[in-house]
Amino acid sequence: MNKTLIYAHRGASKLAPENTMPAFELAAAAGAEGIETDVQLTKDNVPVLIHDENLRRTTNGKGFVQDYTYDQLRLLDAGSWFSSKFSNVGIISLDEFLQWFQKQAMVLNIELKTNVIEYKNIERIVYEALKRHQVLDRTVISSFNSNSIIRMHEINPAVRTAFLTSTKRRDLVEYAKSLGANDLHIKHRLLDKKLVKQCHRANMDLRIYTVNRPNMMKKCYKLKVDGIFTDVPYEALEYRGLH
């Protein structure tokens, strides 16, 4: 097991609006080893990077992502809610992001946001985009929705997947394995030594979200988890250097 990798959660989302190019660029500049981002589908089936199904929280739009075409969504302001400095920042497609990501020496976690809306064919659409940009070998695809993990495994069992959960259950490792998942992504409060051992014994990587506090960072490093998702990658890097 190598060092705990630091994934910028939705980019460096404490410094710039989440899931936008400035947040990703700042994560790379900070030295984060990975990026975590969320994918939803537009009305015309374009995968776009946005966490919520609804546009309200992070844009000046209204209603659901799935009710707009990509060309309509591109016109929205996805930065002002965070700071007026970012008023010219928009929603980007997965393809636009991958054009940039392809040139970075980083790893990637794509979360398929299928836990609220089960977008038809999202697994195939995302798979094809990753393949086109030749980044499949450094990407892990995660979802809270077991069906997405199963479907991704059916598309290509060589694609690395992670079951994502915030719910404690005794047979978590066995359950994730039964879906075909390679790895497990859990909420920080579920982390304990036993689970780390169980995962590693089962040859699974364990990554923890969302780790923003020094104490939790310390615990993750001490237990040698494989990765953390953090809004503050620069702080996580600094702490990792001290442990």
**CA–CA separation, 110 vs 194, rounded Å?**
27
Tokens encoding 38? 């969320």
Residues 208-227 as x/- pattern, contact with ligand G3P by CB under 6 A: -x------------------
Nearer to ligand G3P, 73 or 164 (CB): 164
| Among the listed residues 33, 111, 205, 226, the single contact to ligand G3P using CB under 6 A | 111
**CA–CA separation, 179 vs 59, rounded Å?**
35
Q: For the CB of residue 88, give the shortest distance to ligand G3P in the complex, in Å.
A: 25
Q: Is 9 annotated in the active site?
A: yes
9 interacts with ligand G3P by CB under 6 A = yes
Tokens encoding 177? 């394995």
Going by the DSSP 8-state scheme, the letter that residue 93 receives in this structure is: B
Q: Is 243 annotated in the active site?
A: no
| Among the listed residues 5, 8, 36, 212, the single contact to ligand G3P using CB under 6 A | 36
229 interacts with ligand G3P by CB under 6 A = yes
DSSP string covering 10-34: TTTTTTS-TTSHHHHHHHHHHT-SE
Going by the DSSP 8-state scheme, the letter that residue 51 receives in this structure is: S
187: β partners: 209
Task: Kindly give the pairing relationship between strand 206-209 and strand 227-230.
Answer: parallel
Nearer to ligand G3P, 127 or 209 (CB): 209
User: Which residues lie near ligand G3P (CB under 6 A)?
Assistant: 9, 36, 38, 111, 142, 164, 185, 209, 229
Active-site positions read: 9, 51
